[in-house]
Amino acid sequence: MNQQTKPDQAKITALQQAYKSTLLSVDKAQAEEVLRTASSMFATPLEVAELCLAPVLEQMGDAWENGHLALSQIYMASRISEELVDRILPPLQEMRGEAPKIALMLLEDHHMLGKRLVQSALRLAGIPVLDWQRVTVDELIARAKQERPDLILISALMLRAALHVRDVREGLDRAGLAIPIYVGGAPFRFDPLLWQEVGASAMGANATEAIHLVSGFLERRHVA
């Protein structure tokens, strides 16, 4: 990794376009080449994550939301990127030093795809996440009391589970835990008012939007 100044925006944009193109054509070898080029361009692995991987995944997430890409393409982009990051870059999460505790979970369901995509996106952006797997409302509140995360990310597939976020919020409040809750999943996408109705602090319309939301949270924590 070269210790050099940050490349200009035109080069960064070109790199992002090249990387996205390789992902969309599911060309793992070419994607690796672009990522190795990125590694030599940026000063740190975290910059590779923040300036190349995360923006590309966010662009792809937006394209899915607008009907220009399929979920299967997002899935494959995540799979390829995770494999390459493991091979090319050092563990990104460790490079952030002491980070806030961010807990990610699926609320009361057996269908984990959305949560897995969020987990993958955050990992590729170099954001460490605690995986709480599948939890009920009571389990979530009990674990939050014990582990005191700084941020809770909830993925919900069914409306019923999404409405239970309100019970989570109330349970946390009763316990005196002012932990913000960010939510995502189909019910929140089809009902844009739902996240506020259930007392969440923010909503991601797609899995990769979690990068933007959580990065904003981290920045605010840093400034504070």
Q: Which is nearer to another protein, 73 or 215 (CB)?
A: 73
Binding mask 41-80 for another protein (x = CB under 8 A): -----------------------x--x--xxxx-xx--x-
Query: Which residues are within 8 A (CB) of 201 and not within 5 positions of it... i.e. 6 or more apart?
Result: 180, 181, 182
DSSP-derived secondary structure letter, 32: H
- Contact stretch for another protein (CB under 8 A) within 6-14, 97-105, 142-150, 187-195: 187-195
Q: In angstroms, what is the minimal distance from the CB of 149 to another protein?
A: 24
Give me the residue label for tokens 């200009």.
8
Name which position in 193, 220, 223, 224 contacts another protein (CB under 8 A).
Answer: 193
Cβ distance to another protein smaller for residue 64 or 217? 64
Residue placing its CB nearer to another protein in the complex, 112 or 142 = 112
- The reply to whether 29 sits near another protein by the rule CB under 8 A is no
CA 101 – CA 42 distance, rounded (Å): 27
* Comparison of 126 and 187: residue with beta carbon closer to another protein: 187
Read off the amino acid at residue 140. Answer: L
Q: Give the pair of three-digit tokens for residue 57.
A: 């995944």
Which one of 191, 196, 216, 219 is in contact with another protein (CB under 8 A)? 191
| Residues 6/47, Cβ–Cβ less than 8 Å | yes
Strand partners, 153: 104, 182
Mark 142-161 with x for binding to another protein (rule: CB under 8 A) and - for no binding.
----------------xxx-
Give dist(CA 210, CA 193) in Å, integer: 18
Quote the CA–CA distance of 161 and 133 in Å, as a whole number: 15
Q: Which residue of 1, 46, 88, 163 would you call a contact of another protein, by CB under 8 A?
A: 163
Strand blocks (E) in the chain? 102-107, 130-135, 151-155, 181-184, 202-204
Spatial contact of 204 and 62, defined as CB atoms under 8 Å apart: no
CB of 211 to another protein, least distance (A): 20
Nearer to another protein, 67 or 176 (CB): 67
State the nearest-atom distance from the C-beta of 163 to another protein, in Å: 7
Distance from C-alpha of 222 to C-alpha of 149, rounded to nearest angstrom: 16
- Residues in touch with another protein (CB under 8 A): 64, 67, 70-73, 75-76, 79, 109-113, 116, 158-160, 163, 186-187, 190-191, 193-194
